[in-house]
Structure 1
Amino acid sequence: MTRMRESDDLIIRPAQAEDEKELAALNRAAWTWLADVAPQPAEDAGVFDERHAPDQFLLALLGDRIVGYVRVVPPTPLASNQHVRQIQGLAVDAGARGRGIGVALVEAACGAARAQGARRITLRVLGHNAPARALYERCGFVVEGSLAEEFLIDGRYVDDVLMARTLTA
């Protein structure tokens, strides 16, 4: 097991194919209209497919239990955009919140992006998701733009907020 960061008993490591069942259960349990624009995944839905490979995910473990994940990918396949990485998913198990796991995952994502040669890391967050926006701001992300009323979620129009952080010193 590769350890990217250890704090108390928290370990952050890359995902492996055999993590899929536990990761899918966490993804389903963490689902909420506060953070998601698509319906809750089905009971039997997996996480990995042709667009979502294990090497895109970093997992947070307490003991041997997955309690969080972050997914980091190039935002496009274009060579002119390869200096950027994008967070396209972050979740922490409700029972493990308040222990700094979200911050640890975001910082690990930034470290992984930097190690891949990225100069910037970006993300999109729903405007009404105040807890996530506050987390990203604590990690040094700033709002760079907003798409007003981009989504209709549970009967309400919600903004799509674009945030980014520079990874160079």
Structure 2
Amino acid sequence: MLIRPLQHDDADTLWAARLQVLRESPAAFLSTLAEASGETAQVMRTQLDDAHTRYFGAFDQAQLVGFLRYVRPVRLSRRHTAEIHSVHVSAGHRGHGIARQLFLGAFAAARAEDIESLTLTVLADNAAARGLYASLGFIESGTEPRAVKRDGRYVDMVSYWIALA
């Protein structure tokens, strides 16, 4: 398994992986396949080219099987932090420590950029992700009740924080 930063040239591969996620795990992200259908790989190119955004990919041979993104705030007073977004490992590759490897790669890159802490949010019903975050040292920092409504059912959003320095 190769974990590496994603770059501009990875946009098409990343876009295809994101669409696959929305097909195989519709609840994995807050957006839906229908919402994403009007977009193109240019969305990924824009994110990959953004100076405040970092993407990391997990590759099995040449296939992108997982990704993680963190975004650093623009404001100087908040640049010691970053927020993790878009963590995903494809269904056929789960349970092999790939998400952990993605996080460890992101932690190393964030430290190299003098980022002192990371935050993330996750749906309260995602027990596997919450277990991973706790095992990595993330601390639960709050809950937003009824943050998401899916199929008439509310789900809370749980916030996590970790110190890197």
> 1:93: which partner in 2?
90
CA offset at residue 62 of structure 1?
Answer: 1.4
> 1:68: which partner in 2?
66
Alignment of 1:1-169 (within 5 A): 10-31=1-22, 32-40=25-33, 41-42=36-37, 45-46=40-41, 47-50=43-46, 52-54=47-49, 56-74=54-72, 76-168=73-165
SS in 2 for 1:162: strand
The question of whether the paired residues in 2 share the 8 Å contact of 1:34 and 1:126 is answered with no
Where is the helix percentage greater, Structure 1 or Structure 2?
Answer: 2
AA of the residue aligned to 1:62: D
SS in 1 for 2:140: strand
Between the aligned partners of 1:63 and 1:83, the Cα distance in structure 2 is: 35
SS in 2 for 1:56: strand
Instruction: Please give the TM-score of this superposition, normalised by the length of structure 1.
Output: 0.85
Consecutive unaligned residues of structure 1, counting only runs of 5 or more, are 1-9
CA offset at residue 133 of structure 1?
Answer: 1.1
Aligned residue pairs total 157
AA of the residue aligned to 1:53: L
AA of the residue aligned to 1:63: Q
Greater CA drift, 141-150 or 36-45: 36-45
Between the aligned partners of 1:162 and 1:92, the Cα distance in structure 2 is: 20
SS in 2 for 1:135: helix
Consecutive unaligned residues of structure 2, counting only runs of 5 or more, are none
Post-superposition CA distance 1:105-147 (Å, at most 9, x none): 0111111111110110110111111111111111111110011
CA offset at residue 95 of structure 1?
Answer: 1.3
The question of whether the paired residues in 1 share the 8 Å contact of 2:11 and 2:45 is answered with no
Between the aligned partners of 2:62 and 2:38, the Cα distance in structure 1 is: 22
CA offset at residue 33 of structure 1?
Answer: 4.2
SS in 1 for 2:44: coil
The question of whether the paired residues in 2 share the 8 Å contact of 1:33 and 1:153 is answered with no
Between the aligned partners of 1:37 and 1:44, the Cα distance in structure 2 is: 15
The question of whether the paired residues in 2 share the 8 Å contact of 1:84 and 1:121 is answered with yes
